[in-house]
Amino acid sequence: MKHQHTMVHAREQAGENTRNRARMLISCPDRAGIVAAVSRFLYEHEANIVQSDQYTLDPEGGMFFMRIEFDMAGLEQRLPQMEEDFRVIADEFKMEWRFSRVSQKKRLAIFVSKEDHCLVELLWQWQAGDLDADIAMVVSNHPDVRVLRKSMLITHSPR
């Protein structure tokens, strides 16, 4: 029981640390200046970049993809205006983009066959707080999965 209490506390602490964190996903035709424009925009809005990943399929005429996480004080109140302000940059670079709050976990469905080793690994990661998602259900074509699912209090959808 103490182990479960520690895990719950760790999840609550992680939630507190991400309260003012957002994620931005961008895709657009590749060209010079994208990273600079996005970074400058975030800096001008007093955001601190905590993680950034980007790549291109082809630097000459390919698509560019970027995932960036940032912290910003007062995120909840400031994000709507920030989204409106970003439209200028998005239009200039012909971007498809979206902001999301890191604190809003994604709901996850896990599909499992008879072999359960991958499910076990995912459940361990989830229980430890390393899988940042809410497991909504486990869908399986085999009844053996039910024992694992019940131990984690997760909905089971038999097929």
pLDDT single digits (tens) 33-66: 999 999 999 999 999 999 999 999 888 889 999 9
Integer Cα distance of 56 and 61 in angstroms:
10
DSSP state of 159: -
Give the Cβ contact number of residue 112 at 10 Å: 21
With a cut of 70, say whether residue 134 has pLDDT above it: yes
Amino acid found at 124? W
DSSP, collapsed to helix, strand or coil, labels residue 92 as helix
The backbone torsions φ and ψ at residue 19, rounded to the nearest 5 degrees and listed phi first, read -55, -35
Dig out the tokens for 124 from the structure: 């361990």
With a cut of 70, say whether residue 75 has pLDDT above it: yes
- Across the range 130-149, mean pLDDT stands at 75
With a cut of 50, say whether residue 10 has pLDDT above it: no
95 to each of 28, 43, 89, 147, how far by Cα in Å? Answer: 5, 19, 8, 46
Mean pLDDT score across all residues of the chain:
83
Q: Which of 10-19, 82-91, 117-126 has the lowest mean pLDDT?
A: 10-19
With a cut of 90, say whether residue 106 has pLDDT above it: no
